[in-house]
C-alpha cells in the first residue's frame, strides 16, 4: 500500500443503527470500497468490535482504526491524534471533524435544519452545530451535500463558495423492493401488533418530523365522513428530541389505540413494512433529502410528503405533496389514496421508476470524483 493515496473517513456514524447518518455512511463507504481498489482507506471507528465491521476485516484496501468514543470532544481529539499519526492525504467527516488536520478536508453536510428550526434541537446540539458547522464549511476543500436545496441553503446562509459544493444524491439500497411473499410475512406484522390496513411513518421521533400534525391528520382521517376507518398509524423509529408536551398531544388522540410506536426496527423488516402499508406519510418540516420517501417508493408504497425544502426535489411527481402545517390537507391526501385505487397504481408505478434513478454507486462516484481532483 505504500505510496498510494490514503483516504481517512470518520466512520463512527456507521455504528448508530436507525439513523440517517448511519444509512448514509454505510452505503457510501461500501460503494466506494467496491468501486475503488487502488487507494487505501482508513476507517476511524469508536466500536471496533461492532458486528457490522466484520465485512471490512478481510478487505485489502480498508483498515479499521479505533479512536476514543466516550464523548464527542474525546472522539474529535482522538481523531486529531490518529490523523496526525497516520497522515491521510484526504479526510472525510460528517458535518465537522478534528480540531486540527494537515491534509485536505472533505465535509458532508446533509442540511442546516438546526439554523432554521432551532426549537427542534436540544440547546447544546444547536449551539455546537452553529459554532462548528460554519467553521468546517469554510475549512473544507470540498463540501458534499445531498440535494440542490441544501447546496443553495449553505450558499445563502453561510456564504459558502458554490464551486466547493458537490451535490451527490442519496441512493436506495437494493434491499428496498416490493415484498415477494407478503402472505408469508404477516408474522412480522403480528410481532409489532400491526393489522392488514395501516398507514406508515418511518423516521426519528423528532419535533421537526411534525408528528403532532400527523396525529391531527390521522384523527381526521379516522373520523372520515361519519364512518371510522379500520387503519392503524404505524410510527417506526427511535425517540429523539420529542419534548414531553409533544408526546402528551399524541397520547391525547382519541384514536391512540390505533397508533403503534414500534421503536427501532431492523433494516431487514423495513421493506416489508413499506411494501404492505396502504401508504407512507412523511410531513416533515425540514429535510436535506428525505431518504424514507425514496425507500417507500422503491418498495411500491405511495407517498404523501411535504412540499417544502428538498422533498419536492426527491419525490418529483411520484408522490402527493402537501403543506406540512395543514392537517386537513394531509388528511385529504390520505383519503384520496385509500379511496382511489387508480391513483395509487399511478403513484406506485411512478415511485418505482423514480427510485431507480437514485443509486449509492452514483453517490460514490461523486465522492471519488472529489478524491481524484484533490489527490496529490
Q: Please tell me the predicted confidence (pLDDT) of residue 1.
A: 39
Nearest-angstrom CA–CA distance, 355 and 315: 9
Range 109-130 average pLDDT? 94
Range 101-115 average pLDDT? 95
Q: Please tell me the predicted confidence (pLDDT) of residue 308.
A: 97
Nearest-angstrom CA–CA distance, 191 and 207: 27
Cell digits of residue 309: 425544502
Nearest-angstrom CA–CA distance, 357 and 338: 27
Model's pTM, two decimal places?
Answer: 0.93
Nearest-angstrom CA–CA distance, 15 and 355: 26
Q: How confident is the model at residue 19 (pLDDT cuts 50, 70, 90)?
A: confident
Q: Please tell me the predicted confidence (pLDDT) of residue 81.
A: 94
- Identify any residues that bridge with 182 across adjacent strands, giving them in sequence order: none
Nearest-angstrom CA–CA distance, 150 and 366: 16
Contacts of 186 (CB under 8 A, 6+ apart): none
Range 70-97 average pLDDT? 92
Residue with cell 387503519: 231
Q: Please tell me the predicted confidence (pLDDT) of residue 189.
A: 86
Q: Please tell me the predicted confidence (pLDDT) of residue 185.
A: 72
Q: Please tell me the predicted confidence (pLDDT) of residue 238.
A: 87
CATH-assigned architecture of domain 6-171+359-374: 3-Layer(aba) Sandwich (3.40)
- Identify any residues that bridge with 235 across adjacent strands, giving them in sequence order: 201, 261
Q: Which fold has domain 182-355?
A: Rossmann fold (3.40.50)
Q: Cα-Cα-Cα-Cα dihedral of 291, 296, 297, 300, to 10°?
A: 160
Q: How confident is the model at residue 102 (pLDDT cuts 50, 70, 90)?
A: confident
Range 153-163 average pLDDT? 97
Q: How confident is the model at residue 60 (pLDDT cuts 50, 70, 90)?
A: confident
- Identify any residues that bridge with 263 across adjacent strands, giving them in sequence order: 236
| Nearest to 261, CA basis, from 238, 230, 240 | 238
pLDDT at 182 over 80: no
pLDDT at 181 over 80: no
Q: How confident is the model at residue 359 (pLDDT cuts 50, 70, 90)?
A: very high
Contacts of 107 (CB under 8 A, 6+ apart): 92, 93, 94, 95, 96, 97, 136, 137, 139, 140, 142, 143, 144
Nearest-angstrom CA–CA distance, 327 and 343: 21
Q: Please tell me the predicted confidence (pLDDT) of residue 183.
A: 67
Range in 29-33, 47-51, 178-182, 285-289 the model is least confident about: 178-182
Enclosing H/E stretch for 64: strand 62-66
Q: Please tell me the predicted confidence (pLDDT) of residue 2.
A: 45
Domains in the chain: boundaries: 6-171+359-374, 182-355
Span 194-247, pLDDT tens digits: 998 999 999 989 999 999 999 999 999 998 766 678 999 999 998 887 778 888
Nearest-angstrom CA–CA distance, 103 and 81: 13
Span 255-286, pLDDT tens digits: 999 999 999 998 889 999 999 999 999 999 99
Q: At what angle do helices 327-339 and 211-223 cross, to 10 degrees?
A: 50
- Identify any residues that bridge with 306 across adjacent strands, giving them in sequence order: 322
Range in 65-79, 153-167, 277-291, 292-306 the model is least confident about: 65-79
Q: How confident is the model at residue 347 (pLDDT cuts 50, 70, 90)?
A: very high
Q: How many residues does the chain have?
A: 376
Cell digits of residue 290: 428525505
Quickly count: other Cβ atoms within 10 Å of residue 307's Cβ. 14
Same fold, 6-171+359-374 and 182-355: yes
What does pLDDT average to over the chain? 93
Amino acid at each position: 500500500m505504500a505510496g498510494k493515496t490514503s483516504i481517512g473517513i470518520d466512520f463512527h456514524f456507521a455504528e448508530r443503527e436507525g439513523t440517517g447518518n448511519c444509512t448514509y455512511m454505510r452505503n457510501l463507504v461500501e460503494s466506494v470500497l467496491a468501486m475503488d481498489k487502488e487507494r487505501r482507506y482508513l476507517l476511524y471507528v469508536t466500536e471496533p468490535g461492532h458486528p457490522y465491521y466484520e465485512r471490512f476485516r478481510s478487505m485489502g484496501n480498508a483498515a479499521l482504526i479505533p479512536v476514543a468514543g466516550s464523548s464527542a470532544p474525546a472522539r474529535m481529539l482522538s481523531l486529531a491524534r490518529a490523523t496526525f499519526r497516520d497522515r491521510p492525504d484526504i479526510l472525510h467527516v460528517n458535518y465537522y471533524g478534528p480540531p486540527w488536520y494537515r491534509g485536505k478536508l472533505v465535509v458532508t453536510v446533509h442540511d442546516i435544519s438546526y439554523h432554521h428550526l432551532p426549537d427542534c434541537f436540544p440547546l447544546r446540539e444547536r449551539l455546537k452545530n452553529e459554532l462548528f458547522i460554519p467553521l468546517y464549511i469554510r475549512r473544507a476543500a470540498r463540501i458534499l451535500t445531498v440535494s440542490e436545496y441544501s447546496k443553495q441553503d449553505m450558499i445563502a446562509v453561510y456564504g459558502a463558495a458554490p464551486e466547493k459544493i458537490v451535490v451527490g444524491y442519496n441512493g436506495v439500497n437494493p434491499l428496498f423492493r416490493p415484498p415477494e411473499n407478503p402472505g408469508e410475512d404477516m408474522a412480522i406484522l403480528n410481532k409489532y401488533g400491526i393489522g392488514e390496513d395501516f398507514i406508515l411513518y418511518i423516521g426519528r421521533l423528532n419535533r421537526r418530523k411534525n408528528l403532532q400534525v400527523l396525529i391531527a391528520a390521522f384523527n381526521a382521517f379516522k373520523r372520515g365522513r361519519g364512518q371510522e376507518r379500520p387503519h392503524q398509524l404505524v410510527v417506526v423509529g427511535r425517540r429523539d428530541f420529542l419534548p414531553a408536551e409533544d408526546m402528551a398531544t399524541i397520547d391525547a388522540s382519541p384514536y391512540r389505540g390505533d397508533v403503534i410506536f414500534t421503536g427501532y426496527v431492523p433494516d431487514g423488516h423495513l421493506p416489508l413494512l413499506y411494501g404492505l402499508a396502504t401508504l407512507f406519510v412523511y410531513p416533515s418540516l425540514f429535510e436535506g433529502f428525505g431518504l424514507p420517501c425514496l425507500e417507500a417508493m422503491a418498495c411500491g408504497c405511495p407517498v404523501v410528503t411535504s412540499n417544502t425544502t428538498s422533498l419536492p426535489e426527491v419525490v418529483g411527481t411520484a408522490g402527493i405533496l402537501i403543506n406540512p402545517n395543514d392537517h386537513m390537507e394531509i388528511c385529504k391526501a390520505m383519503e384520496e389514496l385509500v379511496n382511489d385505487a387508480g391513483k395509487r397504481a399511478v403513484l406506485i408505478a411512478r415511485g418505482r421508476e423514480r427510485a431507480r434513478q437514485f443509486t449509492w454507486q452514483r453517490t460514490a462516484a461523486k465522492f471519488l470524483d472529489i478524491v481524484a481532483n484533490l489527490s496529490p
